[in-house]
Amino acid sequence: MPAAKHDVFQAIADPTRREVLKILSKEEMPISRITSYFPVSRTAIVKHLQILSDAKLVSARKQGREKIYALHAEPLNDVKEWLGYYEQFWHNKLAILKHLVEHEEDNK
């Protein structure tokens, strides 16, 4: 089986695609409704949906003459796991900030 053309990180790198995922998190919808949220052409949204589909973040099913798109959030776990490693640095920064704030109050 060939590797996907786009992975989840490439898919979420674009703000339009992140917004598409957010929209589809609320409900499944046809491309005509998805397109109505954006000031770009239907063709541009189709390209974004193809990248999201390559990354297995969305799927489409035929319903009459329309394709209905649905979110599949499972691949986002890869992003969560990757970011999880870096949480240790955020926690350390917050601990340092807390220490500085508490000691600043002591010095007043």
**Residue 94, Cα to own-chain centre: how many angstroms?**
25
Q: Give me the residue spans of the domains in the chain.
A: 1-73, 75-108
Q: How far is 56 from 40, CA to CA, in rounded Å? A: 23
Q: What are phi and psi of 58, to 5 degrees?
A: -135, 155
Residue listed under structure tokens 């949204």: 45
For 72-101, what is each residue's pLDDT tens digit? 999 999 999 988 888 877 777 777 777 778
- Sheet with 58-63, edge to edge strand ranges: 29-30, 66-71, 58-63
Question: Could you tell me if 10 and 55 are in contact, meaning their C-beta atoms sit under 8 angstroms apart?
Answer: yes
Buried b (16+ CB within 10 A) or exposed e, 73-105: eebbeeeeeeeeeeeeeeeeeeeeeeeeeeeee
Confidence of residue 63 (pLDDT cuts 50, 70, 90): very high
Domain spanning 1-73: CATH 1.10.3720.10: no
Q: What is the pTM of this model?
A: 0.77
